[in-house]
A and B are shown apart, each in its own frame.
Chain A
């Protein structure tokens, strides 16, 4: 674990605004972990806001909905922030048509299966960044006794979790209520980072005063540093349990959901609204002012600048999709926002632009690795081409959190080498099978 300069202000204090009328949306079939959804519309089709345009395929997958009312213009391969290129539907919105308003549902009478189905149909995926389809996590294969709500947001700069906690406290708690019931857990633990004192207080008060049907509930103030919001780390901090290597949270009786996901679950179950909009933080020193904006999934990043929602102060040197520790640097502004886009950071100066120098064996990377690995050895083995050693070194367990790279005085991009090593292991596994 490491302590980072968090750069959370002023984003933490900027009230969210809306930009829900994009000129064009580009919606990917693949914006979650797992198999891509299967397209069920074709160019020329008139579609409605909230209508399913691609259906789940396989167990780990999620539906995709049209975020606007309008017409399917094209189906093509578009630039994807994570996958580089992926199949997408281009939709031209038609704002002359009446706006679709979602109907609240009378959920009291609903059975567990029905509620689970609503969540599945709504295409909700984890909002914390991993975009794992939420309904899958609600059907654990082994018994679960603890539901952990992740409000740590340990990546520097990003502020959406903080904002939703402050602005939608009741809705999140209602969402948590649903999840706790579905999972039938004994304990609910909210893990909120100490850098969000207002959120902690608000949650404490709201839980105290509100009428929520919770089992045992606890708020854990997190102060361990980055990456305390990583699933395994968070579980360890709040329950002392350790998920075994390559295991899942349910192996130790836990399920973790992000606060944003809980809000999406509330929207789906109580308002009948699928996952078509999300809150995104835009910040960094190259922007005139940081903003938290509700945007329609599929909105092009560039459009936000064209429509003056965002303005540059200085020319950015680096644009990061996600947080600066695990996010991906984009080569242009021409990228659509996807379900997993929690934030974009625009930096006028690139700290990573430093030459790599020889490893000193100084052990700083080893000391900070939250997975207790030996990052310096990965680098050595990959550089020397000793790939057969990587498996024994447990390279696979590296979660690419970047703590090692951040701390390295020799400025060695360990994660870059880790990815090379993992790629090799994958290729190798494929060959072995054949």
Chain B
């Protein structure tokens, strides 16, 4: 007797676990930068979030009555998706975040945002971003307190975008590019994010359409705003500061929460870019990446519906 499964009989090597592993690899440069600039606190935050994510995933899968280490229809610990969520959330937290807040945010991300909506691949919102949003509401002060890299005592310092927004100061582009600025631990080094992001695009783990349109829209509007109001800051300042790069490579491309159609991904990316701009220029927060992606997450089912490709041969 031979195997008789239905066709096709060939499969790509890539599986869910290797997709997640590649995302983790893509995040390594950023993680390294976080540890380099923020030292021990960063290590604590990262370990805290990853371990909490793994434990929460394990517990939730147990509670759903499945073996967390086997393949289940809600996901598995082995697929590493919990590690990705934990790591991503850690990277968008400020260095001064308290351990219990990081833990709570992670539990919320995995248990509520991911599993209440069905588990792996079924969630509507990006769990890491929702985790952060949750913490911003629960601990508004803690989540908006940043400090300079390498500092031993926590002397709070505004992020570059906040400095610009509230006091019209600019930090040097070199610092922005390398990461020697205050901000969430994984957002500071544009260089490291670019390396990881480009790795993801080259390995075809993330689709290029979302980052491209997202970046394109921010770029275009910034150029326009720059000509209208020369004081609005240099181009690179807007592109390199804040979570734009991290968000567009690692959060907006999250498969479960972005559209499946090609056209839909252009729309999604452009929408994210537009909302970022609106919040940055006309909103109450200095930074809009998190809101923009979450907003577009919510629209994803709708975008999928209205951008359904025409089937082959249809006029």
Evaluate contact between A409 and B7: CB separation under 8 angstroms. Answer: no
Name the A residues within 8 Å of B18 (CB-CB): 409
Q: How far apart are B91's CB and chain A's nearest CB, in angstroms? A: 21
Task: State in angstroms the CA–CA spacing of A360 and B84 once bound together.
Answer: 14
Evaluate contact between A324 and B10: CB separation under 8 angstroms. Answer: yes
What DSSP secondary structure best describes chain B's contact surface?
A: loop
Task: State in angstroms the CA–CA spacing of A354 and B194 once bound together.
Answer: 34
Evaluate contact between B16 and A357: CB separation under 8 angstroms. Answer: yes
A210 at the interface (CB under 8 A from B): no
Write 8 A-B pairs (CB below 8 A) sorted by A numbering: A245-B312, A326-B8, A327-B7, A329-B5, A350-B3, A402-B7, A409-B16, A419-B6
B239 at the interface (CB under 8 A from A): no
Q: Which of A351, A362, A366, A409 contacts B10 (CB 8 A)?
A: A351
Evaluate contact between B16 and A406: CB separation under 8 angstroms. Answer: no
Q: List 18 extra interface pairs beyond A354-B15, A360-B121, A397-B311, CB under 8 A.
A: A156-B10, A243-B312, A244-B313, A245-B312, A325-B8, A325-B10, A331-B2, A353-B3, A357-B120, A362-B255, A366-B262, A371-B311, A374-B260, A374-B261, A402-B7, A409-B18, A411-B15, A415-B6
Q: Which of A317, A359, A370, A411 contacts B2 (CB 8 A)?
A: A317
Q: How far apart are A73's CB and chain B's nearest CB, in angstroms? A: 28
Q: How far apart are B86's CB and chain A's nearest CB, in angstroms? A: 18
B1-41: which residues lie under 8 A (CB-CB) from chain A? 1-12, 14-16, 18-19
Name the B residues within 8 Å of A400 (CB-CB): 7
A355-374: which residues lie under 8 A (CB-CB) from chain B? 355-363, 366-367, 370-374
A139 at the interface (CB under 8 A from B): no
Name the B residues within 8 Å of A325 (CB-CB): 7-10
A316 at the interface (CB under 8 A from B): yes
Evaluate contact between A347 and B9: CB separation under 8 angstroms. Answer: yes
A410 at the interface (CB under 8 A from B): yes
Q: How far apart are A308's CB and chain B's nearest CB, in angstroms? A: 21
What DSSP secondary structure best describes chain A's contact surface?
A: loop
Q: Quick one: given A402-B7, A406-B8, are A330 and B2 in contact (CB under 8 Å)?
A: yes
B116 at the interface (CB under 8 A from A): no
A8 at the interface (CB under 8 A from B): no
Name the A residues within 8 Å of B7 (CB-CB): 324-329, 400, 402, 415
We find that the number of chain B residues with CB closer than 8 angstroms to chain A is 45
Name the A residues within 8 Å of B2 (CB-CB): 316-319, 329-332
B302 at the interface (CB under 8 A from A): no
Name the A residues within 8 Å of B10 (CB-CB): 4-5, 156, 324-325, 351-352, 402, 406
Q: How far apart are A244's CB and chain B's nearest CB, in angstroms? A: 5
Task: State in angstroms the CA–CA spacing of A418 and B85 once bound together.
Answer: 32
Interface range on chain A (Cβ under 8 Å from partner): 35 or more
Task: State in angstroms the CA–CA spacing of A405 and B261 once bound together.
Answer: 17
- Per-residue CB contact flags for chain A residues 324-350 toward chain B (1 = under 8 Å, else 0) read 111111111000000000000101001
Evaluate contact between A363 and B207: CB separation under 8 angstroms. Answer: yes
Q: Which of B76, B256, B313 contacts A245 (CB 8 A)?
A: B313
Q: Quick one: given A320-B9, A409-B16, are A358 and B119 in contact (CB under 8 Å)?
A: yes
**For residue B76, which residue of chain A has the nearest CB?**
A357
A296 at the interface (CB under 8 A from B): no
B167 at the interface (CB under 8 A from A): no
B122 at the interface (CB under 8 A from A): yes
Q: How far apart are A360's CB and chain B's nearest CB, in angstroms? A: 5
A80 at the interface (CB under 8 A from B): no
Q: How far apart are B216's CB and chain A's nearest CB, in angstroms? A: 20
Residues of B within 8 A of A (CB): 1-12, 14-16, 18-19, 71-76, 79, 119-122, 207, 255-257, 259-262, 265, 308-315
Name the B residues within 8 Å of A408 (CB-CB): 11-12
Task: State in angstroms the CA–CA spacing of A374 and B312 once bound together.
Answer: 12
Most A CB within 10 A of own CB, among B9, B18, B309: B9
**For residue B304, which residue of chain A has the nearest CB?**
A374
Evaluate contact between A324 and B311: CB separation under 8 angstroms. Answer: no
Evaluate contact between B8 and A405: CB separation under 8 angstroms. Answer: yes
Name the B residues within 8 Å of A320 (CB-CB): 9
Evaluate contact between A324 and B9: CB separation under 8 angstroms. Answer: yes
Task: State in angstroms the CA–CA spacing of A394 and B315 once bound together.
Answer: 15
Q: Which of B15, B73, B256 contacts A361 (CB 8 A)?
A: B256
Task: State in angstroms the CA–CA spacing of A350 and B9 once bound together.
Answer: 7
Task: State in angstroms the CA–CA spacing of A415 and B2 once bound together.
Answer: 20
Evaluate contact between A376 and B260: CB separation under 8 angstroms. Answer: yes
Q: How far apart are A144's CB and chain B's nearest CB, in angstroms? A: 17
Evaluate contact between A366 and B260: CB separation under 8 angstroms. Answer: yes
Q: How far apart are B139's CB and chain A's nearest CB, in angstroms? A: 31
Q: Quick one: given A363-B255, A373-B311, are A358 and B73 in contact (CB under 8 Å)?
A: yes
Evaluate contact between A360 and B9: CB separation under 8 angstroms. Answer: no
Evaluate contact between B255 and A371: CB separation under 8 angstroms. Answer: no
Task: State in angstroms the CA–CA spacing of A406 and B14 once bound together.
Answer: 10
Task: State in angstroms the CA–CA spacing of A401 and B260 once bound together.
Answer: 20
Evaluate contact between A362 and B9: CB separation under 8 angstroms. Answer: no
Name the A residues within 8 Å of B315 (CB-CB): 244
Evaluate contact between B313 and A361: CB separation under 8 angstroms. Answer: no
Q: Quick one: given A358-B73, A363-B207, A371-B312, are A405 and B11 in contact (CB under 8 Å)?
A: yes
Q: How far apart are A164's CB and chain B's nearest CB, in angstroms? A: 24
Evaluate contact between B311 and A363: CB separation under 8 angstroms. Answer: no
A407 at the interface (CB under 8 A from B): yes
**For residue B9, which residue of chain A has the nearest CB?**
A324
Name the A residues within 8 Å of B1 (CB-CB): 331-332
Task: State in angstroms the CA–CA spacing of A242 and B260 once bound together.
Answer: 24
**For residue A333, which residue of chain B has the nearest CB?**
B2
Q: Quick one: given A243-B313, A358-B75, are A413 and B9 in contact (CB under 8 Å)?
A: no
**For residue A244, which residue of chain B has the nearest CB?**
B313
Most A CB within 10 A of own CB, among B11, B18, B79, B259: B11
Name the B residues within 8 Å of A358 (CB-CB): 16, 72-75, 119-122
**For residue A397, which residue of chain B has the nearest CB?**
B311
Evaluate contact between B312 and A232: CB separation under 8 angstroms. Answer: yes
Q: Which of A317, A327, A360, A372 contacts B3 (CB 8 A)?
A: A317
Q: Quick one: given A367-B262, A394-B311, are A406 and B73 in contact (CB under 8 Å)?
A: no
Q: How far apart are A160's CB and chain B's nearest CB, in angstroms? A: 19
Name the B residues within 8 Å of A428 (CB-CB): none
Name the B residues within 8 Å of A371 (CB-CB): 311-312
Task: State in angstroms the CA–CA spacing of A247 and B312 once bound together.
Answer: 11
Q: Quick one: given A358-B120, A360-B19, A372-B311, are A329 and B255 in contact (CB under 8 Å)?
A: no
Q: How far apart are B148's CB and chain A's nearest CB, in angstroms? A: 38
A416 at the interface (CB under 8 A from B): yes
Q: Quick one: given A357-B16, A363-B207, A407-B12, are A413 and B5 in contact (CB under 8 Å)?
A: yes
